[in-house]
Amino acid sequence: MSTREWSRFGKNLAGGSGIAELMRDLGEAMAGGGDVKMLGGGQPAHIAEMERVWERRWKELEANGELRQTLGNYGPPAGSPSFREAVASLLARELDWEIGPENVAVTSGGQTAFFFLFNALAGRMADGSRKKILLPLVPEYIGYADQSVGDPIFETRRPLIEKTGPHEFKYGIDFDNLNVDDDIAAICVSRPTNPSGNVLRDDEVARLRAIAEEHHIPLIIDNAYGAPFPNIIFGEATPVWDENLIITLSLSKIGLPGTRTGIVIAAPEVVTAIAEMTGVVGLANGNIGQAVMEPLIRSGEILKLSNEVVRPFYEEKSRLALGWVHELFPDGINYHVHRSEGALFLWIWFEGLPITSRELYERCKARGVLIVPGEYFFIGDHGDWPHARECLRVTFTMPGETVREGLRVIAEEVTKAFQD
């Protein structure tokens, strides 16, 4: 079938995208495609202590006779009732959120949750008008960019940039330029932000909540890396919720990406809509992630594992990677690293880079180092902004020798670019 025979939906989703390229690179590298140093995707590390937990739970499922049902039965499209109840009970007990299982929906990964939410809230409306999703700060998650089934649905804003130390900077929301018009259907942020590791301050979140409430639109907070689990946040960030908020969680970054289990916390009507969409698109969600994790959520062990195993592991990984950057990158290349406040990445800005980060990606790939060019994360029309072509994302979850060698190659290629 030629490209011209695809529908608009088909062209949008199958016509090439940053997230598809990223996942192809990740899949080939993880499948053992040669001596590739994978500093690209969001693959979480294989943490030995967490893997022992998964092995224990699998054996318990088998011993308890639950494995046959987990593998052999469909679940309800909203998710397992007992899993949803366990999630609601944990959040009510630990965070004082006024929620019940009617506020919890399960999806086939967080990516699917956003596909449902964005296309249900924005796009062409019944009255013929068009609505958009506002991203108040780019760079933002690469996986949002190509989710629309119709016309482009994102309106985005450039951040404030503060140089906070030698070779360090931080993004902030430019509230003076955050006008919200009638065509905005929702505001969406990730916290911590993928790619930069930026964690929005509590006061920034409070201002976004107030703006959303004033305009009677939801604020969506993507908590894939955030609190209360997996809590890959290297400082303080208060988790919040009310019925005007939509919060997404995931089992991927705590160590179960293969189960594709996303969780949405929202008003009951949103949960019902997500369940209906799941039924249409995929019948039901996978059972394995829910079955493995349910008793850990019910007992609160998931919080202990997040706070005492997962977060310290990645905080140390971040510290080591930053040290190698400062060791290997010469001052002459004018680099800045976003303050590492959470998630699994370093976001590096090469101010004045004479080539695009896309070209830098190709040069590094030719030497067996996979990174992600920054252009993909500047969703919207930012092609005239040099900063959008001067950044790249580096994952620090791989073994230390892989990360260090990859950073060495990046340093050499950037140095060559500045010298050419």
Query: Counting beta carbons within 10 angstroms of the beta carbon of residue 28, is it exposed (0 to 12), middle (13 to 18) or buried (19 or more)?
Result: middle
Confidence check: pLDDT of 78 > 90? yes
Give dist(CA 288, CA 261) in Å, integer: 9
Same domain, 273 and 332: no
Among 255, 287, 304, the domain boundary falls at 304
Same domain, 140 and 195: yes
Residue 85: count other Cβ atoms within 10 Å of its Cβ. 17
Same domain, 291 and 330: no
Task: Tell me if 237 sits within 8 A of 227, measured CB to CB.
Answer: yes
Would you say the C-alpha torsion 281, 282, 284, 288 has a positive or negative sign? Answer: negative
Lowest mean pLDDT among 125-134, 144-153, 217-226, 363-372: 144-153
Confidence check: pLDDT of 17 > 60? no
Same domain, 140 and 212: yes
Domain containing 30: what range?
Answer: 3-50+306-419
Specify if 233 maps to a domain.
Answer: yes
Specify if 223 maps to a domain.
Answer: yes
Same domain, 179 and 299: yes
Specify if 312 maps to a domain.
Answer: yes
Find the mean pLDDT for residues 73-78: 94
Confidence check: pLDDT of 276 > 60? yes
The number of domains in the chain is 2
Mode of pairing for the β-strands spanning 345-350 and 372-373: unpaired
Averaged confidence pLDDT in the chain: 92
Find the mean pLDDT for residues 136-155: 91
User: Which DSSP category does 5 fall into?
Assistant: G
Q: Which of 343, 345, 306, 346 is nearest to 326 (CA)?
A: 346
- Alpha carbon 26 to its chain centroid, in Å, reads 15
**164-196 pLDDT per residue, tens:** 999 999 999 999 999 999 999 999 999 999 999
Among 304, 329, 361, the domain boundary falls at 304
What confidence score (pLDDT) does residue 14 get?
64
Lowest mean pLDDT among 7-11, 82-86, 309-313, 315-319: 7-11
Decide: helix, strand or coil at residue 259: helix
Find the mean pLDDT for residues 134-155: 91
Per-range mean pLDDT, top range of 4-8, 13-17, 70-74: 70-74
Specify if 66 maps to a domain.
Answer: no
Find the mean pLDDT for residues 19-33: 55
Per-range mean pLDDT, top range of 15-24, 31-40, 143-152, 363-372: 363-372
Q: Look up tokens 């949002």; give the residue.
A: 144
Q: pLDDT tier at 15 (50, 70, 90 boundaries)? A: low
Give dist(CA 250, CA 352) in Å, integer: 37
CA-CA-CA-CA torsion for 30, 36, 41, 43, nearest 10 degrees? 40
Q: Residue 261 sits in a domain of what CATH number?
A: 3.40.640.10
What confidence score (pLDDT) does residue 149 get?
85
Specify if 64 maps to a domain.
Answer: no
Q: Look up tokens 């804003």; give the residue.
A: 157
Is-above-0.85 flag for pTM? yes
What confidence score (pLDDT) does residue 1 get?
42
Which two structure tokens, joined as six digits, stand for 81? 């009732």
Decide: helix, strand or coil at residue 172: strand
Q: Look up tokens 């050419």; give the residue.
A: 420
Specify if 63 maps to a domain.
Answer: no
Q: pLDDT tier at 6 (50, 70, 90 boundaries)? A: confident
Q: Look up tokens 């509590």; give the residue.
A: 202
**206-239 pLDDT per residue, tens:** 999 999 999 999 999 999 999 999 999 999 999 9
What confidence score (pLDDT) does residue 285 get?
93
Same domain, 232 and 156: yes
Same domain, 109 and 234: yes
Same domain, 268 and 341: no
**99-132 pLDDT per residue, tens:** 999 999 999 999 999 999 999 999 999 898 999 9
Give me the helix-helix angle, 110-121 and 268-282, nearest 10°: 110
